[in-house]
Chains A and B, each alone.
Chain A
Amino acid sequence: MAIPKSVAPWLVVDAEGRAHVEARRCSVCAAILTAPSLACPSCGARGTLQPFMVTPTGRLHSYSIVHRSFPGVTVPFISVVVDMDDGTVLKGNLRGVAPTPDAICFDMPVRLVFDDAGRQDREGNRYVSYFFEAA
């Protein structure tokens, strides 16, 4: 079976189909970046961004419970911004938690999990995504 594709440039899927999140750290200013860039957007240095595997645990920085989205997107879902323990910041879906404010609290510990995205592109390719779950 074909290796699934990744939903984001910072989600790396290896030849065995195993996924991890990879960020880059600037050796000059220590900024941590997910999206690709030619130089460090924090200090402008070139050739200083070193890739590393992101620690799969973090804490919830902010969230919203999304009740209305675009056609075809299942609602409600919880959109979260997470400060990973190594300083990387990721946005994703929090799953396995009830979509009510009472069930969510700031700074709650979460962990990264990897799973089928449940969506295919027009060519029928499968995708792997990352999700957050309460830790």
Chain B
Amino acid sequence: MRDVYIVGIDMLRFGRFPGKTPGELGAEVALGAMDEAGVSIRDIQALYCGNQFDPVGMIAQDVQKQIGQTGIPSANIKNACATGATTLREAMFLIKAGAADITLAVGCEVMPRGLLGGGEPAAGISTEGLLGSGSMPCVFAEAGHAYARDYGTSFAQFAQVSVKNHWHSTMNPKAMYQKETPLEEVMQAEMIAYPNTKLMCSVNVDGAAAAVLMSEEEVRRRGLMGQAVKIRASALASDPYTPRNLAMWDINTATRMAADKAYEQAGLGPDDIDLVELHDCFATAELLHYENLRLCGVGEAGRMIDTGETRLGGRIPVNVSGGLLSKGHPIAATGIANMYEVVAHLRGTAGARQVEGARLGMTHVVGLGTVAAVHILEKSL
């Protein structure tokens, strides 16, 4: 199948947009991505739109009502935290299949406020606080502790993830928060679900990100190879059965499967990757994914954060955007926003946080349920 490129990409600085609809947020970044690609809505042959929380969910059509209703095929996608990545992947496959040359992928979200992952049931009683907690901070704390049980990872090591990512965010004008947080501040912040303190939880914000994709022929025809970034690999995996996954969401196995498939598709290994934007929805999760994405060996994630290998300037910088922890995590926008970050580095336009000489970058998201997406993006020559 033919190669597909990201030619234009845009994201909002995530935040709160009271009174705005997901379609309005999505439309803004769709225009930004189209402008960067030098195309108009009349050039777009299909639109895929990701959104998780809107109850009606016809956001692709809402976006078109904002920017141009040209009658193109479009579809709405919902896939938890992998929604944005899945949306872009679908837009990519239409081109790979030869059914289109230019497609648009949009991820946009107006988030429900407060804790996610529990609340009142339609019938019966809530089991929250009775059969443990289904709140996201707790679920990811339990996932982190399962790793700590085997490898002795400490509260301080998990907290160092927030220190690193919050430091990175000070160099990213698109991060919701751009404030350094020393280790003591992270560890002494309000405890939400031990070991995740408030500063170890991703930020609940609204947001949107969009990308214009083109076939290789189209990129060449338009003379856009200089700004184009190749989608070198795209992998998606659901959690296979594992013995504990009825009692705790398994964020590891699906991530490993997607990562291995992506490396295989690209014909690359972890040592070839120059930077990674991975799913740090909670500080406890980031360390697990070092190992899941094969960035380190078994049990080495704690050492990796201790030695600074994943800091900007380190062996393999992770979440130089500030990550979900400081950039924010508007569910359906996150996957495309991760790619926005990697694209900036591959183009050499990431400013103070630029990973020097970046040629290959990886993006990862994992949505509970469970689904994981891994993409490898490559700088055009």
Binding site for B on A (CB under 8 A): 5, 7-8, 31-35, 41-42, 61-70, 73-75, 77, 79-83, 87, 89-93, 101, 106-107, 117-121, 127, 129-130
A41 and B138 contact, CB distance less than 8 A: no
B128 and A91 contact, CB distance less than 8 A: no
Which residues on B sit within 8 Å (CB–CB) of A64? 133, 137-138, 141-142, 145, 193-196
B142 and A62 contact, CB distance less than 8 A: yes
Q: Give the shortest distance, in Å, between A6 (CB) and chain B (any CB).
A: 9
How far apart are the CA atoms of A117 and B193 in the complex, in Å? 22
Q: What are the 5 A-B residue pairs with the smallest beta carbon separation, nearest first?
A: A79-B132, A64-B141, A73-B129, A65-B194, A42-B241
How far apart are the CA atoms of A117 and B130 in the complex, in Å? 7
B125 and A121 contact, CB distance less than 8 A: yes
A89 and B123 contact, CB distance less than 8 A: no
Binding site for A on B (CB under 8 A): 115, 118-119, 123-133, 135, 137-138, 141-143, 145-146, 148-149, 155, 190-196, 241, 243-244, 246-248
Q: Give the shortest distance, in Å, between B260 (CB) and chain A (any CB).
A: 20
How far apart are the CA atoms of A38 and B135 in the complex, in Å? 27
Which residues on B sit within 8 Å (CB–CB) of A74? 129
A63 and B135 contact, CB distance less than 8 A: no
B193 and A68 contact, CB distance less than 8 A: yes
How far apart are the CA atoms of A69 and B115 in the complex, in Å? 7
Which residues on B sit within 8 Å (CB–CB) of A80? 132
Given contacts A61-B244, A67-B193, A81-B247, whether A91 and B125 have CB atoms under 8 Å apart is no
Q: Give the shortest distance, in Å, between B35 (CB) and chain A (any CB).
A: 42
Which residues on A sit within 8 Å (CB–CB) of B194? 64-67, 101
How far apart are the CA atoms of A33 and B246 in the complex, in Å? 7
Which residues on A sit within 8 Å (CB–CB) of B247? 34, 81-82, 89-91
A63 and B142 contact, CB distance less than 8 A: yes
A41 and B142 contact, CB distance less than 8 A: no
A8 and B131 contact, CB distance less than 8 A: yes
How far apart are the CA atoms of A82 and B248 in the complex, in Å? 10
A129 and B130 contact, CB distance less than 8 A: yes
Which residues on A sit within 8 Å (CB–CB) of B191? 65, 67-68
Contact of A61 among B118, B131, B146 (CB under 8 A): B146
B243 and A89 contact, CB distance less than 8 A: yes
A77 and B146 contact, CB distance less than 8 A: no
How far apart are the CA atoms of A108 and B160 in the complex, in Å? 28
A70 and B132 contact, CB distance less than 8 A: no
How far apart are the CA atoms of A90 and B246 in the complex, in Å? 8
How far apart are the CA atoms of A80 and B248 in the complex, in Å? 10
How far apart are the CA atoms of A101 and B187 in the complex, in Å? 14
B125 and A117 contact, CB distance less than 8 A: yes
- Of the candidates B133, B138, B196, the one having the most CB atoms from chain A within 10 angstroms of its own CB is B133
How far apart are the CA atoms of A66 and B125 in the complex, in Å? 19
Q: Give the shortest distance, in Å, between A38 (CB) and chain B (any CB).
A: 14
How far apart are the CA atoms of A119 and B125 in the complex, in Å? 7
B138 and A121 contact, CB distance less than 8 A: no
Which residues on B sit within 8 Å (CB–CB) of A79? 132-133, 138, 142, 193
Q: Give the shortest distance, in Å, between B246 (CB) and chain A (any CB).
A: 5
Which residues on B sit within 8 Å (CB–CB) of A67? 190-194
A34 and B246 contact, CB distance less than 8 A: yes
Q: Give the shortest distance, in Å, between B133 (CB) and chain A (any CB).
A: 4
Q: Give the shortest distance, in Å, between B5 (CB) and chain A (any CB).
A: 38
Which residues on A sit within 8 Å (CB–CB) of B131? 7-8, 91-93, 129-130
Q: Give the shortest distance, in Å, between A92 (CB) and chain B (any CB).
A: 5
B192 and A93 contact, CB distance less than 8 A: no
Contact of A81 among B123, B124, B146, B155 (CB under 8 A): B146
Name the residue of chain B whose CB is nearest to the CB of A72. B126
Q: Give the shortest distance, in Å, between A8 (CB) and chain B (any CB).
A: 6
Which residues on A sit within 8 Å (CB–CB) of B248? 62, 81, 89, 91
Which residues on B sit within 8 Å (CB–CB) of A73? 126, 128-129
